[in-house]
Amino acid sequence: MARNLSPVGFLFALMMFSAVAILSIRSPSRSFLSSSLTHTTLAFENSAPQHVKLSLQHARGNSLIELENPSDSVLLFSTPDSWFQWEIRGADITELQEDPPSLGFIRWHIPPLSTVSFTAKTVTLPLAVHHPVPHILTLSVTEINLDRGTSHKGTYLLQQETRMIQN
């Protein structure tokens, strides 16, 4: 039993076919937006040379992110606004401050000698790490994937740069 398409239906089908064809032709060169969604972006700002430890632990689609600030000065740490602050150790909760969300990020003021934990949907390497200040930051990163039973460790020196942190 064959049905005749109305002119409107035919034009709609032709338009959908054209859209799919155009998108498939453009797909090999991924757009900036789609490529920027394949990693998490973080930013650090420090007022003197500093060492920071970042731990990413993930299982079953969720992550626990811990940032340790072992120095005597406040560290500014920008995270996606989808992250939730979970706990703080080594300082009172009233010492942890956050700036209002801006452009999809929250800037946290991490107190000296403290560790702050965040939760988020799975955060894995690669990470885009921005460090716009002239003072050296030594960043130790540990990634633990509990689903696969794997881990990765790396230490990076950053100074006025953006770097992709990968396995």
At residue 123 the predicted structure's pLDDT band, cuts being 50, 70 and 90, is: confident
Residue pair 53/78 in contact (Cβ under 8 Å)? The answer is no
Domain boundaries, the chain: 35-165
CA atoms of 63 and 123, how far apart (whole Å): 6
Cα 30–Cα 33–Cα 34 angle in degrees, nearest 5: 50
Q: What is the pLDDT of residue 37?
A: 54
Could you tell me how far CA 57 lies from the centroid of its own chain?
A: 13
CA atoms of 81 and 115, how far apart (whole Å): 19
Mean pLDDT over residues 82-106, rounded? 95
CA atoms of 54 and 40, how far apart (whole Å): 13
Share of the chain above pLDDT 90, in %: 73
Share of the chain above pLDDT 70, in %: 78
pLDDT, the chain, mean: 83
> Hey, what are 94's tokens?
């009233």
Cis ω before 126 (30° cut-off from 0): yes
Q: Which residues contact 23 (CB under 8 A, 6 or more apart)?
A: none
Q: What is the pLDDT of residue 17?
A: 42
> Which CATH number among 2.60.40.1180, 2.60.40.10, 3.40.50.300, 1.10.3720.10 corresponds to the domain 35-165?
2.60.40.1180
At residue 88 the predicted structure's pLDDT band, cuts being 50, 70 and 90, is: very high
Global pTM value: 0.76
Mean pLDDT over residues 145-161, rounded? 96
CA atoms of 14 and 31, how far apart (whole Å): 25
